[in-house]
């Protein structure tokens, strides 16, 4: 199983003595070769789950594995490509230099790395600025470079936090096509997004998180079959959950 989360809970400190539950006994399995959309309102806990998957923070309880290995196992890194919501780079470097650094960190051979850099920069429409300092890039160009860096070592599993953030319609199409190609190649894509139209067009299954609790997990068509599209179904399930807690 590419990604497995079992009985995951996480608390954050709230003041000196109290704690706030942000992930509540989460169970989730992501299958090989699927595109999984992770949805929820702001503050639902999506980014916290992603940070735990990447071992940036540790859970208070539960088991999290990547390819059946604990996420704190160093060898797990080679399987994962990660795009944060707001990628940040050394702005005096170029795209070419940034990707070369990423590839070397992943122990890629020089010839393979150079070919991969050219391939990704061409695919993401960044070839014309590959030798320009990143400080000259627009937000959308930085976002596309972040995706290129996540994919440089051809990972089996891609974890993308708001991959369409800051992209214009053409940029969103580029990224969407890449995600679909990854699925064709049997790769696993786990991504969060607030752009529901992208979720509808790309995902095999979705998970709905609200206040740390998983409200739904399953095929997209099962979630929207009784509603007028994903947006209406999403709003309904979140509002129902909130009313139940009042």
CATH class of 3-245: alpha beta
Instruction: Report the C-alpha gap between 242 and 148 in whole angstroms.
Output: 38
Q: What's the whole-number mean pLDDT along residues 234-243? A: 89
pLDDT band at 227 (very low <50, low <70, confident <90, very high): low
- pLDDT score of 96 more than 90: yes
pLDDT of residue 226: 64
Q: Is the pLDDT of residue 165 over 90?
A: no
Distance CA 74, CA 71 (A): 8
Which is more confidently placed, 224 or 185? 185
List 26's β-bridge partners, or say none.
8
Domain edges within the chain:
3-245
Q: What is the pLDDT of residues 116-143, one digit of tens each?
A: 999 999 999 999 999 999 999 999 999 9
Q: Could you tell me the two tokens for 231?
A: 């947006």
Phi and psi torsions of 6, nearest 5°: -130, 125
The share of the chain scoring above pLDDT 70, in percent, equals 99
Q: pTM of the entire structure?
A: 0.91
């Amino acid at each position: 199983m590419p990604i497995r989360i079992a009985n995951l809970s996480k608390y954050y400190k709230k003041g000196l003595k109290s704690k706030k539950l942000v992930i509540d006994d989460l169970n989730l399995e992501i299958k090989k070769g699927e595109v999984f959309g992770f949805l929820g309102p702001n503050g639902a806990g999506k980014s916290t789950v992603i940070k735990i998957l990447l071992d940036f923070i540790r859970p208070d309880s539960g088991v999290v594995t990547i390819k059946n290995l604990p996420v704190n196992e160093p060898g797990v890194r080679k399987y994962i490509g990660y795009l944060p919501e707001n990628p940040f780079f050394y702005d005096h470097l170029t795209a070419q230099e940034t990707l070369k650094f990423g590839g070397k960190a992943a122990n890629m051979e020089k010839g393979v790395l150079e070919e991969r850099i050219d391939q990704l920069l061409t695919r993401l429409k960044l070839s014309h600025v590959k030798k320009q300092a990143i400080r000259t890039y627009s937000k959308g160009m930085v976002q596309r470079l972040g995706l290129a860096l996540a994919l440089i070592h051809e990972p089996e599993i891609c974890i993308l936090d708001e991959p369409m953030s800051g992209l214009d319609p053409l940029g969103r199409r580029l990224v969407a096509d890449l995600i679909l190609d990854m699925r064709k190649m049997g790769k696993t894509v786990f991504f969060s997004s607030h752009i529901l139209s992208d979720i509808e067009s790309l995902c095999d299954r979705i998970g709905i998180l609200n206040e740390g609790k998983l409200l739904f997990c399953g095929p997209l068509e099962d979630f929207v079959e009784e509603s007028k599209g994903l947006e209406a179904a999403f709003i309904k399930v979140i509002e129902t959950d909130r009313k139940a807690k009042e």
